[in-house]
Structure 1
Amino acid sequence: MSEVIIYKASAGSGKTWQLTYEYLRILFSKPEDYKHILAVTFTNKATEEMRNRILEELRQMAAGEKTHLARRLVEEGIAYSGDLEKKASHILRILLHNFSKFTVTTIDSFFQHILKSFAREAGIPFYRELILDDKMVLEETIDQLFFHLNEHPFLQEWLVDFTLERIRQGSSWNVHKEVSRLGNEILRESYPGTLATEQPTFTDDQRKEWQGQLFGKEKKLKENLIEIGQQACQIAKRFGLSQDDFAGKSRSVFAYFEQLANGTMKDLTDTILSALTDETKWFSKTSAKKELIRQAMDEGMQTLLARSVDILRELNKIQALARNFYVWAILSDLAGLLQKYLAEQNLHLLSDTHKILYHLIGRNDAPFIYERAGNTWLYYMIDEFQDTSSLQWNNFRPLIANSLSQGKTSLVVGDVKQSIYRWRNSDWRILAREIMHDFPGRNKTEVLPLNRRSFRNIIEFNNAFFFEAIDCLKDKYCEQTSLNTEHDLVGLMKEAYEDCRQGVPEDKMQTTGFVRVELYDAKTEESRTPLRLVETVCELFSSGYRPEDVAILVRTKNEAKAVASWLLNTDYYPPGIAPPGIITEEAILLSQSPVVRILCSLLRYLKNPDDQLNNLSLLNELFMYLEMQLPDGREYPPVTFTRETTENFLPPEFVSQAAELKKLPLQILCGRLASLFGLDRKEQQKPYLFSFMDQVNEAVRKGISDVYGFLDFWDKNAGNLSLTIPEKANAVRIMTIHKAKGLEFPVVILPDPVWCIDHNPTQPPYLWIKQNLFGNEECTWFPVRYGKQLAQTDFRETWLKEKMQTFVDNLNLLYVAFTRAREGLIVISDKDDKLYNARNLIMDVCSRLNDTIVQKQEEDGKIICCRGSFPEPKAGTLSKGEPFHAQDNDGLFATRFALLVKKHASGYFSEKGELVQTARDEGKLMHTLLSKIRHAEDVPAVVQQAVLEGKISKNEAETIQQRIALVLADPEMKEYFTDAWKILTENDIVLPGGETKRPDRIMVNQGKTVVIDYKFGEQARPYHIRQVKEYMELLAEAGFPSPCGIVWYPHLNRKERIDL
């Protein structure tokens, strides 16, 4: 029977092997079906691993090797031992000869392939560029938002409200940074613009009116509550009752009414909620005024209590919406600007693919989709299914349903416990429940039972730990939500970890391994974790482990920095023992390289030699890292770092060439600077230098060709650009748990696991709630901040679901960290927090584990839990680690750079000797020619001169002349190429100190000055406008009348007009 097989694959259970087996199972049954199998996973690395695993198994079988997978195929009667080699060789040959049909791909690549087939229906022009980096486009959009802020007074108000609220919360005053963080909301699937029901568009006036209605409702509800409080207090007074007569006194129902009467609206307590149905919450058993209180209740206090609770819940709801109304308004405007920017720049976001396909697939049958895509897939295999998003699953589901209708079987493989990417839209509930509900009676769950990664003691410890951990979290969840253990959400938590116990394979039964959990008193003044971490690392080295065997896992990059500083602190080491080599995500950032920092400082100097802060940074780097010699008679540091004083310390050959260097193409400029300062001769820094040049090349590919644009690009991206380090580098690895997923290490150390189990209240996420507040025909999605106050509103169910998922998410982090260990697992912590965190959870779980699981020791403010014996030290085995060196030949940089320059030279010669222009080179040529043209009649002469200078061939001249004439015929621009203007082209603006600026075209006529700058890059960018604005300011200072500016993009048929 056709069905969907759901493999539950806990950590180390061999899911890649299982996928490979299932893939070959189909091929050995029907070799021609290779073209009908679609296997998808989530990363390029996983895709490569799976594809190589399939080919390697076939190669081994074809070579006669009796692999475990081959024996399994024979045992199940899928293949016969007599012709196994021949059949494997045949299948391997088919795959290699038809490699394009061997479809093992990432989920994004698959859906992008489908979307290309539907580009016309989706309204996507064929020439649109696919953008992988959503955040880069978002930053460009936010730049546009701030640049045009004066044109949007309502948006200014929303931003002021947003900023004031963030300041009240103690967040950053950097508005741009905060808006960037907020803007990430529109890239999430949870944002209403990515849901099936699109967010309606509203005007500023409508939104302002609705905000006023919200505040009006809030005011009215508060007045009602004050009135209720006053009425209840009057009733009590009539019966001669006071606060002391009621049960709980200051926490009594009467005290609650007094607070309402005074205008104090607090959260509803359990006492107040219980008093709605339980009269014993009003008075104590021994109360002398029990009957009077009953009479007061009957006279209206009971009714007033019920009314107040309803109104207070409504007030909490209105306040949750009102406090975030400006967030909704800002995001609505930003989303609109983003769509406008994408259309103008002919861009398409990769993240939009799933949304577009959701609408298309929902309207079409699966066979039609296959036909358009040019494939007929019958078998689906989805890896890492716990990381699938709702939209992705909505797009896959009809395809799998069609496969089932064809009598074929599909499979998914995943593990809810390893779902740690919900911030990337993954939804583990699909694997936990939804897929089974989607295919009732046509699904089968298989659990891969054995852990083939870890040693026995680690497997048995993790089995017991996580079985208890989910119980601890379930109890904590029920305590904080007042739910009972039979609630569906509590049941879903338990289901997530129902398969957490794994078996020990026979080949692991004789292994031991060790676990050590050290929890120190968090109240001591000085942290013990740094010293204990270093001592533990030294113990491991003494026991024979090498630095590359040890991984230290942390939650955030900032924690990785702290751990690295501990390991490098020589004060923690015994005499004669040096710190080991370490590799961290932060340490391999390009921006941490002194060579890269010097290059960037030099570029900034060329951009603005009067930037004293940059001059200070540049000279410090040169003297500290390059150990540059001080000029005779100079003392460092100088009193100031002006242009003049800085030039006194820089090499004369650089200072004298500065003006010429600025005119060089960006790639050649960076290479010249590296050579001039000897940066290309720093052996250990060559990997950083090469990677930096790759980024320069990438920037140029994106149309950024000058220093201004590159520095803007660098400032936005430097925090994410890093080296790729060889896996075998002998150094201790420090990495985040998210980066470690899918990896394994002999020993894992987890220092100070103190991430919150719930959301941190200082940075709660936004939840999107569908509401019809103002009687509109359509409901509107509004953002509310996650928090316990939502428990007392209509949004309680949304809050409960988010809280449950967050609890599981943060337990999953602990699961992923613990299961990376092969031989040893060590936890060290002495930190604590007022909020319930992972350390608290570890303490609670360890207190529940019995002596058959761990040996416990409590003394002197510390708790140590052990399973297995820590390895004994071995004489003479302490490894200090080896620093990471990049092996490179002296001439490699020059060779590589020469190739890079050659690739992007002004043009190549074809076999016929004619110049072949790339699009970017053609843009540069057009820019050069337009800069020389004063009037439209000059075009033929300028083009002929270009032929004489060898810039273009005779065959190209006529075409280029026609294209320029077409550009100059633009109705909006042709007036600027007439005799009516006094025209200056290729004229420098000389600044004090000698620096020059060169606008493409300056025109003066009747008290007006116009600056034109031509741009032929692939897209318009905000710094283009900043550049022209700077020219205008300089011309105004020089006395030119009323400067205005135009950034002209002839190839985009676009002009940006700028006024001072």
Structure 2
Amino acid sequence: MSYLNTDKSVMISSPAGSGKTEKLARRYIALLQRGVDVERILAITFTDKAAAEMKQRILRILRDEDATLFHSLLEKMPLMRVTTIHSFCGTLLRRFSFDAGIDPNYGIADEMASGMEWEQILYDVLMDHGSSGEVSSPLHNQQSDFILQTLSEKGFRGLDYLKGTLDYLFSKRPFSLEAQSFIHVPSVGDELREELLSWEGAADAIDNYEKLFMKVSQRELLSIKDCFLTSDGMPRKKAPSALKGIADFQQWTLKMSLYWKDIRLEECSERSQRLWTIFHTCLRNYSGRKKMKGVLDFSDLEYLAYRMLTENPEWANILYAFDEKTDHILVDEFQDTNNFQWAVISKLTEEWRSGLGAKREGGTRPTIFFVGDEKQSIYFFRGANVEIFRRAKTQMEAWLGDEFLYEEAKENYRSRPAIIDFTNLIFSKLMGRPGNYPWITRYSPFTAKRPGHPYPGRVELLLLQPEEDVKMAERKQKEADVIAQRIKSLISNFELAERGSDQKRSCRYSDIAILLKKRTHLAPYEEALRKYAIPFVAVKGIGFYQETEIAVLRALVFFLSNPHDDYSLYMLLKSPLFNIAESDILHLVRREGESLFEKMRNNGDYSSLSQGVRGVSPPLEKGRFEETFTLLQNWLTQSAYMPLAELIEHALVSTKAWRHFHEEQKRANIKKFLRVVEDLEAGGKPLIRIREFLERTIDEQDAKAHVNTEGMDAVRIMTIHAAKGLEFPVVIVPGIEEPFSPKTGDNLVYEIPPTVKGGQEWGRFFFKSVPEPSIRDGDDDFLIRKAKEIEEQIRLFYVAVTRAEEALVLTGYWDRRENSFLGFLTKALELHTQNDTVVVENADIPGLALLSEEDVSRLYAEVHKEVVIPVDHRRIEVIPLSLPKTASWKSVAETADVRRRHGEDWLIIGDIMHRIFEYTSKGLLREQDIQAKAENLFRSKGMGSQQIAEKIMIIKRDIETLKGKGIWRDVIMPRKNSFAELPFILDAGDAVYNGRIDRIIKEDNEYKIYDYKTFPVKEKEMEYLLKEYGFQMNIYKKAVRSLFNVDSVKSYIVFTHTGEIKEG
């Protein structure tokens, strides 16, 4: 394994199933075994979950293979620098905040807060520029003229266009921050203009023809474009009767279209420049708001780090400071790197690559290690640049020569031979096509190396025949039903083997994953799985804000903000809050009154309610408008003084609507909605602004609330993007005939080929806005973008196929269109129809089968048994739980709880007591030094002398209590075979937890966990607290069993204020 040669920098191209994470973990361990200090190794990945998994993999290997190094690393885990690229950039900025020009105590604004801030700034700028007022600066006036002109030409669509473009640029940060507006270089000159001006017959057929070619009148070309262009923007071939006098009509339309396109591109260039200046006006205001609040947003981290390292006058000192602490960098998932991330990594290692510097002189050879697979680069829409993978390889070879090693893994330890052979056949034809374009993906075949049972596995191509005059929804439902039937037959008669085992077992529901390109058609699959009594979990589902229960709560907020919102009130009346029949609502609509709420008022005598009723709302009797109106009126009154989240919860309780939202997922979603509202209120947002936020998020695909599914035997449904990095015994990919839908619209931020900047290759970014589809269709930059999107679709298909371990099922309707997964298969397998049956012309793969709808029906009929769907069958949908970006599991679970119950002071006392216990247990703090250490710690929290003295007395009293009961001696004082503040990572399936365990003591073959609770507690509260912290202690026990590979583990809670120890 040459990649373990720690004297060389290494890049590994590691295809799906080849053990990429294993390779990185073993490289990390090889450095440790060579004697490199853990704090001198920096490992970078792209998600918190991946960082946690990487730590876990390193620890597991060491635990199994090198116990001495394992225990040594456990002690130094706080020094492990395994982090995301954004967290690393954030740490760099905080350390050199003065040089970066930012607040060292900056916070990170969440996406919701950033979006709302941007929306407000956008509104203010557009309204300021769009209204007539006092004369301002020339730039301000130019922007105002452009906005007013756009509104004049396009009306309300003009405002949507402006807002949509500015939102697009905001979403493309940090790339749009470096972008320049494109400059159009005319492709036609005076010669073509003169030729058209003197074209025989044109002046006679078109009024004022000569004026069209004057600079001041060129916009008038728009009024006659139908004379030479078709509705889809192509040059006309036949002359209308009024234009038959124009000589050589087709040549005239062709040259007129060229001239027209040139004029339009000039206008687009001017428009793009003005949009760009308005965007930067908004951006300056947005940056000012962030600076005033002392926050950065997520995209700032890598961009400001890049600017600091490349443009700051002190960049050399910053690099020197980094270089002093780091000797080796490892980068995971390198194919997902964007330009800024690579620029940061490249700059940090600049001196290393030169072969010079203090490290080399001191005998240290620094290294860089990259691992990734360009075939799995599927985040182009987020800015990932697949070209960097190859570009970095070329640069590293040039920079390091013999000190650089490139390897391409050829083994696949995941999939059966049928899946491997199928993948090799398909993608060797789809990838690496002729053409020297840097974004085209290369392909190298790999071989099946999966240990265990040698059977080949299965690949099924299940194609349905399309029927005429059948709606899309019906087609999708039919395909979903066929998939459900195939799942039932697989459960009954398909056997598989665990990896490394020769023993086969029956397929289970939890072995199966349905991978969708997008979530648009999720509902038919859910319906079909319920119909056939197949348990399932939908990862992310259709989106949080589209769920029924959230739509009801949104309608309540809309009504409270505007009682005359008839649609929202109509939704509320029909909802589980009131359950009023449609016929009763229609009867009410016929009553007098301007709004539905006024009609409810006029339906009875409500004069006693004119002042509103405080307190608990009266009980609701179903179908009674009197009680309904009373509730609504009360809620409106209460909204003036009651927090909105509390009022919503009160509404759910008073109407007993919770009974209708009993499913675990629905309850979790409601709680998440309440948290969103609480956060908005905490940020000072009034009711009307909360409504505006909810209006903007209706179409957003926010993740649903997390529900734990550990141990569930259920089919998983998720997108291909969500499945990246995962594997499943059986993978089903439906809708393979669905055509690709390009993501590029009117606007484009794009990169031109790299040039040398600051001593390294660096592309330049440009922005252009081209509303005319026919011009975009012929524009090189838009065409390149489209070509890159198609290439990414090939990579997306590769990711989907390579998730399968035992069986792969591809389903869809027969279709001859090329721009789809099926189009890829048709090209590679030479699929065609013969006697109305699809046949494969070129695929001799054992285990490959072509199935029809009739085949699936027969297989299903052979095993089908009548089933009765249980009444309580639940639809449960979940999302994978990522690690929090800044807080550990324990701090998330406990800090807020302590703060709420006992206040901020006890939170600070608890933090300092934990530090004292840790230092004491590790032998770093003598008893006589405890008071001085505590005083310093309190002082660092900004406390005064009087406050410190009071809190020192509390700590002294608690320590004396612990001593008196023997806890100080038995638990806190240094012990052999013990750990203090031990960090851990626990993969619990759908969730990954990390945190610190206060104290672990090994006695004989039993591990004892001690968790300190430092807040005041009464005897009668202890039983309740033991139950409340049961989940936390259970996680700790699982973590210790996993870390030390033991079964015998007990956990105890130490209540330090009372000196009690309770087993938990």
Contact 1:417 1:812 in 2 (8 A): yes
Q: 1:352 to 1:769 in 2, by over 3 A?
A: same
Contact 1:750 1:828 in 2 (8 A): yes
- 1:42 is aligned, of 38, 42, 46, to 46
Paired residue for 2:83?
A: 105
- 2:672 is aligned, of 667, 684, 691, to 691
Contact 1:765 1:786 in 2 (8 A): no
Shift of 1:335: 3.0
Paired residue for 2:768?
A: 783
| Per-residue Cα deviation, 1:562-607 (whole angstroms, up to 9, x for no partner) | 5445656x5xxxxxx456545253456255142x444443333333
- 1:518 is aligned, of 451, 456, 463, to 463
Paired residue for 1:17?
A: 22
1:527-926 aligned at under 5 Å gives the runs: 528-544=475-491, 545-561=507-523, 563-564=525-526, 577-578=532-533, 581=536, 583=538, 585-587=540-542, 589=544, 591-594=546-549, 596-622=550-576, 627=579, 638-639=589-590, 641-643=596-598, 645=600, 648-650=626-628, 652=630, 655-656=633-634, 658-660=636-638, 662-680=640-658, 682-684=661-663, 685-704=666-685, 706-717=686-697, 719=700, 720-728=702-710, 729-753=712-736, 759=742, 765-767=748-750, 782-785=767-770, 796=780, 798=781, 801-830=784-813, 836-847=819-830, 858-860=834-836, 862=838, 867-868=847-848, 875=863, 883-884=874-875
Paired residue for 2:369?
A: 411
Paired residue for 1:142?
A: 122
**Local SS of the residue matching 2:457:** coil
Q: 1:100 to 1:199 in 2, by over 3 A?
A: farther
Q: 1:761 to 1:660 in 2, by over 3 A?
A: closer
**Local SS of the residue matching 1:722:** coil
Q: 1:735 to 1:173 in 2, by over 3 A?
A: farther
Read off the aligned partner of 2:371 and give its amino acid letter: V
Paired residue for 1:965?
A: none
- 1:354 is aligned, of 302, 308, 314, to 302
**Local SS of the residue matching 2:103:** coil
- 1:431 is aligned, of 368, 384, 389, to 389
1:59 matches 2:63: yes
Paired residue for 2:1032?
A: none
Contact 2:431 2:443 in 1 (8 A): no
Q: 1:199 to 1:539 in 2, by over 3 A?
A: closer
Read off the aligned partner of 2:597 and give its amino acid letter: T
**Local SS of the residue matching 1:825:** strand
Read off the aligned partner of 1:185 and give its amino acid letter: L
1:125 matches 2:103: yes
1:158 matches 2:150: no
1:287-306 aligned at under 5 Å gives the runs: none
Distance (whole Å) between structure 2 residues aligned to residue 27 and residue 100 of structure 1: 15
**Local SS of the residue matching 2:411:** coil
Distance (whole Å) between structure 2 residues aligned to residue 804 and residue 46 of structure 1: 30
Paired residue for 1:1056?
A: none
Q: 1:634 to 1:102 in 2, by over 3 A?
A: closer
Contact 1:327 1:783 in 2 (8 A): no
| Per-residue Cα deviation, 1:50-97 (whole angstroms, up to 9, x for no partner) | 111111222233xxxxxxxxxxxxxxxxxxxxxxxxxx3332233322
TM-score, scaled relative to structure 1: 0.62
Read off the aligned partner of 2:662 and give its amino acid letter: E
Contact 2:331 2:370 in 1 (8 A): yes
**Local SS of the residue matching 1:749:** strand
Distance (whole Å) between structure 2 residues aligned to residue 116 and residue 592 of structure 1: 40
Name which of structure 1's ranges 116-125 and 748-757 shifts more when overlaid on structure 2. Answer: 748-757
1:193 matches 2:177: yes
Distance (whole Å) between structure 2 residues aligned to residue 40 and residue 538 of structure 1: 44
Contact 1:541 1:877 in 2 (8 A): no
Q: Which runs of 5+ in 2 are unaligned?
A: 1-5, 134-139, 202-223, 236-250, 492-506, 602-624, 754-763, 879-891, 910-945, 948-1064
Q: 1:747 to 1:522 in 2, by over 3 A?
A: farther
Shift of 1:419: 0.8
Contact 1:162 1:326 in 2 (8 A): no
Contact 1:193 1:199 in 2 (8 A): no
| Per-residue Cα deviation, 1:113-140 (whole angstroms, up to 9, x for no partner) | 0011221112112354322425444333
Cα root mean square deviation, aligned = 5.1
Contact 2:174 2:303 in 1 (8 A): no
**Local SS of the residue matching 1:650:** helix
Shift of 1:763: 5.6
Shift of 1:104: 0.8
Paired residue for 1:488?
A: 436
Read off the aligned partner of 1:722 and give its amino acid letter: K
**Local SS of the residue matching 2:648:** helix
| Per-residue Cα deviation, 1:275-310 (whole angstroms, up to 9, x for no partner) | xxxxxxxxxxxxxxxxxxxxxxxxxxx9x9999999
Q: 1:526 to 1:701 in 2, by over 3 A?
A: closer
Paired residue for 2:999?
A: none
Q: 1:791 to 1:499 in 2, by over 3 A?
A: farther
Paired residue for 2:340?
A: 391
**Local SS of the residue matching 1:38:** strand
**Local SS of the residue matching 1:642:** helix
Identity rate, percent: 19
Q: 1:101 to 1:703 in 2, by over 3 A?
A: farther
**Local SS of the residue matching 1:11:** coil
- 2:269 is aligned, of 321, 329, 333, to 321
| Per-residue Cα deviation, 1:444-495 (whole angstroms, up to 9, x for no partner) | 2212222222222111101101111236xx4xxxxxxxxxx4x421xx466x
Q: 1:228 to 1:515 in 2, by over 3 A?
A: same
Q: 1:813 to 1:897 in 2, by over 3 A?
A: closer
**Local SS of the residue matching 1:648:** helix
Q: 1:101 to 1:561 in 2, by over 3 A?
A: same
Shift of 1:47: 1.0
Distance (whole Å) between structure 2 residues aligned to residue 146 and residue 345 of structure 1: 23
**Local SS of the residue matching 1:55:** helix
1:456 matches 2:417: yes
Distance (whole Å) between structure 2 residues aligned to residue 422 and residue 326 of structure 1: 27
- 1:377 is aligned, of 313, 326, 343, to 326
Read off the aligned partner of 1:691 and give its amino acid letter: K
Distance (whole Å) between structure 2 residues aligned to residue 834 and residue 22 of structure 1: 46
Contact 1:515 1:825 in 2 (8 A): yes
Shift of 1:106: 0.7
Distance (whole Å) between structure 2 residues aligned to residue 397 and residue 602 of structure 1: 52
Contact 1:313 1:792 in 2 (8 A): no
Shift of 1:650: 1.4
| Per-residue Cα deviation, 1:831-884 (whole angstroms, up to 9, x for no partner) | 769773443232222207xxxxxxx87442645799435896674678879524
Read off the aligned partner of 1:592 and give its amino acid letter: E
**Local SS of the residue matching 2:290:** helix
Q: Paired residues, what number?
A: 762
Contact 1:589 1:723 in 2 (8 A): yes
